[in-house]
Amino acid sequence: MTAKCVWITGASSGIGLALAERMMRDGWIVAGSARSEAALNDLAEKHEGRFFAYPLDVTHESAAVDTVARIREERGGLDMAVFAAGTHIPVEIEDFRRETFKSLIDINLMGVVNCLAAIVPGFIAARAGHVAVVSSVAGYGGLPTASAYGATKAALINMTEALKPDFDRNGVKLQLVCPGFVRTPLTDKNPFPMPFLMEPEDAAEAFYRGLQSDRFEISFPRVFAIMLRCLNALPYSLYFRFLKRGTGK
C-alpha cells in the first residue's frame, strides 16, 4: 500500500510540527509548508523519506497553487490538508493600529482561503479528500488583547461551518479545529497565566484522534473549550463580569 500524504501548513513549529511528527509515526508522508525554508529542510533531513519541504508564504495566492501542484506531482497525490499556519499579535487599546489587523487577516484568514482555493478543485473533482482548518477557542467570543487574533479565528469558524454542507455534498471531509492554550513559541510570549496549558505532543495526540473521528469540531483541551462555550452563552452582563474576574481586564 502507498503511504497517505498530508499537506500541513505551519509545519515548522508549534502544533503543526507536533502533528506532523505524530502523523509520520503512524506512517503518513508529510508535505510540510512554512515560511522558514531552513527549518523545513532540517526536518526533511531529520525525517528522510517521510517529511518533504515545501516552503510557502500562505499570503501569496499563486504560490499556494504552485505548491499544491508540486505536491501532487512529486508525492503522487494528496489525501489530506491541515491548515495550521497562523500567528498572534496582542492588541492593547493604547496601541490600536490598522496594520495589526491587516497583518493577522492576511495570514490567519486569507492564508487559509488561499490554500483552500488551491486544494479544493482537486478534491472536489475526485470526490475525495480531507481538510482540517485550524481556528482557536479564541474565536468563540471576544477576549482581552485578542481583538485582531480572535476576529480572524471567529471568521474561520464561521467560514468552515458555512462550507461544511458543500463539502459533504461533494464527498470531501471538512473539520474545524479549535485548540486552547498549547505551549508554543507564540504562547511562550504570553504575559498571563494560561489555564489548561497543553504540551505540543499532547495537543497533537488529541488533534490526530480527532482527525480520525467523524466529529466536525475538534477541540482540546475539552474541558476548557466547554467552559468557554458556556461562558459565551451567558448574557453580556454576566459574560463581562466573569471575563474580568478571570483575566483582570
Of the residues 54, 140, 149, 208, only one is catalytic, namely: 149
- 155 Cβ neighbours under 8 A, 6+ residues apart: 109, 139
Contact between residue 108 and residue 156 where contact means Cβ atoms under 8 Å apart: yes
Whole-number Å distance between alpha carbons of 180 and 226: 11
Is 236 an annotated catalytic residue? no
Residue corresponding to grid cell 503512524: 26
Question: Bridge-partner residues for 51, per DSSP?
Answer: 30
CA distance 125 to 141: 36
DSSP-derived secondary structure for 207-229: HHHHHTSS-SEEEESHHHHHHHH
CA pair distance 134, 82, nearest whole angstrom: 7
Decide: 117 and 110 in contact? Cβ < 8 Å.
no
Residues with catalytic function: 149
